[in-house]
């Protein structure tokens, strides 16, 4: 049984994240999307909202072997607890490399048995990240095709509630 974690902030989940989740779901028996709840970032969506949006998207896309959990603390500690031997990360452009390389080696230093695997999304998503989605949505721009429908709705709600 190969279990992989896909960690991140997911503020909110985008079609880029979803692309990586779908690729990972074909490679591993189980994938746990792991939402970081104690990061130094101040997210737009609460911990529960980020988890719940991912949950909705997984259900909608009928992705069976992927679940979502939130975590707080050291990632490799959570991975050991979940018996995961793989960490999935997405690589979009060379600009991702330096940070990802550092994280992967630090995680390996913490737990040599856990391997980081990098997956590349379809090129249509290589310019996407959650922060540009938040920015465009704030300015009332079009995020259709870039985030799942549930996220489009949640963004609208969040921004009109303000």
**Nearer residue to ligand ADP within complex by CB, 82 or 160:** 82
Q: What value does the CA radius of gyration of the chain take, rounded to a whole number of Å?
A: 15
Interaction pattern, residues 91-130, with ligand ADP; x per rule: CB under 6 A = -x---x------------------------x---x--xxx
| Whether 41 is catalytic | yes
Regarding 10 and contact with ligand ADP (CB under 6 A), the answer is yes
Q: Which helix (H) or strand (E) holds 19?
A: helix 15-27
d(CA 161, CA 85): 41
CA distance 51 to 48: 5
| Cis peptide preceding 94, ω within 30 of 0 | no
User: Any contact of residue 43 with ligand ADP (CB under 6 A)?
Assistant: no
Q: What residues line the site for ligand ADP (CB under 6 A)?
A: 8-10, 14, 16-17, 20, 89-90, 92, 96, 121, 125, 128-130
């Amino acid at each position: 049984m190969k279990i992989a974690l896909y960690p991140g902030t997911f503020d909110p989940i985008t079609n880029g994240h979803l692309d990586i989740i779908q690729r990972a779901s074909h490679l591993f028996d189980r994938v746990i999307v792991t939402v970081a709840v104690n990061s130094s970032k101040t997210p737009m969506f609460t911990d529960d909202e980020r988890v719940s949006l991912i949950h909705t998207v997984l259900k909608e896309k009928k992705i069976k072997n992927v679940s979502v959990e939130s975590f707080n603390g050291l990632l490799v500690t959570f991975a050991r607890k979940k018996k995961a031997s793989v960490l999935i990360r997405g690589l979009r452009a060379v600009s991702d490399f330096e940070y990802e390389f550092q994280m992967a080696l630090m995680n390996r230093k913490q737990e040599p048995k856990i391997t980081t695997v990098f997956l590349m999304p379809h090129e249509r998503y290589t310019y996407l990240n959650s922060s540009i989605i938040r920015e465009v949505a704030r300015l009332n721009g079009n995020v259709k095709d870039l985030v799942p429908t549930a996220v489009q709705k949640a963004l609208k709600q969040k921004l009109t509630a303000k």
